[in-house]
Structures are given as C-alpha cells and as structure tokens.
Amino acid sequence: MEQPIQWHLQTGETGQTLKIALSYEGMNIICLTGISEAQKASLKALGAIEV
C-alpha cells in the first residue's frame, strides 16, 4: 500500500509516496487449515495471498 506524503496544492499531484508494508504481505495461505472464510478474508485484507 502506498500513501502520499507530499502533494502540490495547486496541481493536486502527489510528490513523494511512502510504501506501507501490510502485516501479512506476501504470506501464502493456500494450505492454511482450521480457520473460517471470514478469517481468511481478513488475512487477505492484510496482504496475504493464495497461490
């Protein structure tokens, strides 16, 4: 996730951006068992992937 940290008020363009790492970014959860679909959806929202 990238968050603008600087923007130009006259043009509305962003300058620099800050990349914020998500808690579970890139964690593969394809073989994860014992959790509900809602829990799996929460992990995906935090950056987990299924590959």
**pLDDT at residue number 1:** 64
Quick check: 25 and 44 in contact, CB under 8 A? no
Single-letter residue type at 5:
I
Considering only CA atoms, which of 28, 24, 26, 18 is closest in space to residue 42?
24
Tell me how far apart the alpha carbons of residues 39 and 44 are, in angstroms, rounded to a whole number: 9
Q: What is the pTM of this model?
A: 0.60
Domain boundaries, the chain: 23-51
What residues contact residue 2 under an 8 Å CB cut-off, 6+ apart? 17, 18, 19, 20
Contact between 23 and 46 (Cβ < 8 Å) = yes
- Mean pLDDT along residues 7-34: 83
For residues 5-30, give the mean pLDDT: 81
- Mean pLDDT of the chain, nearest integer: 85
